[in-house]
Chains A and B, each alone.
Chain A
């Protein structure tokens, strides 16, 4: 395999070396890894048998982001996190955040139907009640359950740890500590302080495809040339850098540099116009000064609005403000780096391998008192992303991606060859993901 084959465009490290304000050290790191996974069995995306294996070997054993701490700020606040067939209550108790399987130990009804606040969890069927910490509180007609021992009749616990304001859960009581699973990820995010952000928007939608099909559409810039052609004058899609560390991977796609796919050289103004979605027949949002650069102007505009919030002592580099820096923590958590607000999460929906839940959070820095987090805005399957105007231009980008996703899932079912094939470099993140997935779940369900 030729590891030296690369786009003819400028390398990302060369580009940021010429920026006026240098980026933090982590953006200068490179760690391309040549992984053995170059093909993926189609059945990983389509078969119920592989879905069942994920439900057996992956989701009950892996750390996964359940919610933000700010969503359960007060004692008694609780939130439901559901992944596939699993349902978890994440609750704030007097002793801190606790999580339990959301199942009544009497006859198996789901204990809690929705997010809320209360001093205890009472099953709506017969009234069995547990405290926020999972200990038994009350059994109606207690005399009728002589074999039940109060101290052993606790809700089934789930491990909880936090990082960056995110609450992670793990259903495996023997799971390694979250810090070990995260590896160096917190180091990468140390300067961006995700714990100091609030949920400005949170939009969720059921998608007509497997959760892996969905998330893989947001893990590379290889698709930009066909799926988002309007971006090409101002995005270095093929110049993206892809890196892998332990359980996480990263892509950095530079903005304010033209796509190597173009047959013409855009001016700095044309690059900026593309970045700001300027239609051909409308005036420019701003003029790039003589000798100026599009990425510099774009970064400067963001810097003006951000500096007053994050403080004058924080250096805001052009790269952190202008580029798309998108991390993936196995298996399904996608926090963006720099000062982009995006965090994605993708998960299976019930036991249907052909459907999934896609979520987009905007996590924004704030000054002064923490604002109230936005409530989840659920879009119906038939509603376009543009019905979530809080996502701004990103909603329109999602609409372009969604034109592919249902068709990919349908195409995978119709495919007459057993495997899909991945690009050596530009699909590094996908290869890393599937490399790990095969370690956790296996390559096939056979």
Chain B
């Protein structure tokens, strides 16, 4: 899953492990959903777009979470 940042045009790509690769004009970095730089030359990225992608990862991975089942019953 990829997003293009509307202000910087950087490409944010969600990885299977929940980390996010950011490519800003060819300079790349890997970040967690809290904005921490894990690796790469690019050391800063948008905290909130990283959070947006992390939450997508959480949505995918909590399908079997017990509280999700409880919540679905309230629908």
Contact = CB atoms under 8 A, between A and B. Distances in A.
B45 to A, nearest CB: 11
B48 A227 contact: yes
Contacts of A446: none
A227 B55 CA distance: 14
Contact of B70 (A200, A229, A232, A377): A377
Contact of A388 (B46, B51, B71): B71
A222 to B, nearest CB: 14
Chain B interface bracket (under 10, 10 to 19, 20 to 34, 35 or more): 20 to 34
Contact of B48 (A226, A279, A384): A226
Interface residues of A, number: 37
B49 interface: yes
Interface in B23-75: 34, 46-49, 51-52, 54-56, 58-59, 62, 65, 67-68, 70-72, 74-75
Nearest to B69: A389
B72 A389 contact: yes
A384 B33 CA distance: 13
A260 to B, nearest CB: 12
B71 A387 contact: yes
B71 A389 contact: yes
B18 to A, nearest CB: 12
B41 to A, nearest CB: 22
Given A387-B65, A396-B59, A400-B48, A374 B75 contact: yes
Nearest to B56: A396
Given A229-B5, A263-B7, 20 more contacts: A227-B48, A229-B46, A279-B1, A279-B2, A280-B3, A280-B11, A281-B2, A377-B70, A377-B71, A383-B67, A386-B55, A387-B67, A387-B68, A389-B59, A389-B62, A389-B71, A390-B72, A395-B55, A395-B59, A403-B34
29 contacts: A200-B75, A201-B74, A201-B75, A225-B7, A229-B7, A232-B7, A233-B6, A262-B6, A274-B6, A281-B1, A281-B2, A374-B75, A377-B71, A384-B55, A386-B55, A386-B58, A387-B58, A387-B62, A387-B65, A387-B71, A389-B59, A389-B71, A389-B72, A395-B55, A395-B59, A399-B52, A403-B34, A403-B47, A403-B48
